[in-house]
Amino acid sequence: MMRPSFLRDESGATMVEFAIVLPVLCIFIFGAIDFGRALKVYNNLSAAARDGARYGASTNPPSPTAIAARTQTAFQSAMGMTLPAGNLQVETDNATFVAVRINDYEYQPWTPIPGGQALTFNIRAQFRLEPAQP
């Protein structure tokens, strides 16, 4: 018995459709993972800058070296790596404020997006100096 042409076997069609959809699906999944990683890095950078600035605001007089070390320690405990030395700046006006800046921190995504670039984060945290206790 002969089958009509529209009832032919289509078992390979599913495989072809899957091969077309798989790269797009992978880019979406890994893009979501990269977005989560970038958000984690940004949050850890801002938390480390806040911790360093808060520490500096509570010491009298504020020491830029100690503030930078505290910021490095906070970032290293959260991320497991240190900040590049040139990216961390401590500003202090011994009378009014302490600020910690993390400039030009580059985040490299894992997802291979054509023409994609690294994200650059610039974080700044500032606290007023607390008055010295008599």
Average pLDDT over residues 39-60: 93
DSSP state of 81: S
Distance CA 71, CA 35 (A): 24
pTM of the prediction?
A: 0.80
Contacts of 94 by beta carbon, 8 Å cutoff, 6+ apart: 61, 62, 129
**pLDDT value, residue 10:** 67
Q: pLDDT of 72-119, one tens digit each? A: 999 999 988 888 878 899 998 877 899 999 999 988 888 766 666 778
Torsion over CA: 51, 67, 81, 111 (sign): positive
**pLDDT value, residue 4:** 60
Indicate the domain borders of the chain.
13-128
Residue 35 has pLDDT above 70, yes or no: yes
**pLDDT value, residue 25:** 92
